[in-house]
C-alpha cells in the first residue's frame, strides 16, 4: 500500500498546489477590484469636492453681492433721509427770516448763479407782496458792476 499512499499524497499535494494557485489568483483579482474601486471612489470624491467648492464659492460671491446691495440701499436711504432733513431745516429757516434778510439771501443766490444773457427770477404771490422796490435795481447794479458771480456778497 505504499504505492497507494504515495499516489494519494501526490494527489493531495497537487490539489493543495492547485488550491493555493487559485487562492493566490483570486486574491490578486480581489486586490485589483479593490484598487479599482478605491480609485473610482477617490475620483468620485474629488469630483464631488471640486463641485462643492465651486458651488460654495458661487454661493459666497452671491451672498457678498446681496449684502453689498443691501448696504448700498441702506446708505442711499440714509442719505435721502439726511437730504430731506436738510431741506426741511432750510425751509424752516427760510420761513423764519424777516423780509430784509430773506431778500438779501435772494440777492446772494442770484449773484452767485448769474450767467451772461437775460434771466428771470420767479416769485410766489406772498413774496411779490413784500418784494422790495429796489430789488431789480440792486441786482442790475451788481451785474453791471462786474461783481464776481462765483462768490457770495
pLDDT, tens only, 86-101: 999 999 998 899 999 9
Same domain, 76 and 126: no
Give the residue, 126 or 147, on which the prediction is more confident: 126
- Give the other-Cβ count within 10 Å of 111's Cβ: 19
Same domain, 42 and 75: yes
Same domain, 91 and 122: no
Are the C-beta atoms of residues 131 and 123 closer than 8 Å to each other? yes
Same domain, 61 and 92: yes
Same domain, 104 and 91: no
| Lowest-confidence region among 15-19, 70-74, 111-115, 148-152 | 148-152
Domain coverage including residue 126:
97-153
Same domain, 70 and 132: no
Residue 135 has pLDDT above 80, yes or no: yes
143 Cβ contact list (under 8 Å, min separation 6): 114
Cα dist from 144 to 84, 117, 129, whole Å = 37, 12, 27
Residue 119 has pLDDT above 90, yes or no: no
pLDDT in tens, 13-65: 888 888 888 898 899 999 999 998 989 999 999 999 999 999 999 999 999 99
Which cell numbers hold the place of 62? Answer: 452671491
pLDDT for residue 153: 42
Amino acid at each position: 500500500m505504499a504505492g497507494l499512499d504515495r499516489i494519494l499524497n501526490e494527489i493531495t499535494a497537487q490539489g493543495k498546489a492547485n488550491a493555493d494557485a487559485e487562492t493566490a489568483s483570486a486574491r490578486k483579482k480581489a486586490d485589483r477590484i479593490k484598487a479599482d474601486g478605491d480609485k473610482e471612489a477617490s475620483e468620485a470624491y474629488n469630483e464631488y469636492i471640486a463641485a462643492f467648492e465651486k458651488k460654495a464659492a458661487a454661493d459666497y460671491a452671491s451672498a457678498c453681492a446681496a449684502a453689498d446691495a443691501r448696504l448700498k440701499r441702506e446708505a442711499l436711504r440714509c442719505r435721502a433721509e439726511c437730504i430731506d432733513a436738510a431741506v426741511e431745516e432750510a425751509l424752516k429757516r427760510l420761513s423764519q427770516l424777516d423780509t430784509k434778510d430773506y431778500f438779501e439771501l435772494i440777492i446772494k443766490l442770484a449773484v452767485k448763479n448769474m450767467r451772461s444773457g437775460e434771466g428771470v427770477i420767479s416769485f410766489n404771490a406772498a413774496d411779490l407782496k413784500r418784494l422790495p422796490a429796489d430789488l431789480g435795481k440792486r441786482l442790475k447794479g451788481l451785474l453791471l458792476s462786474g461783481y464776481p458771480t462765483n462768490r457770495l456778497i
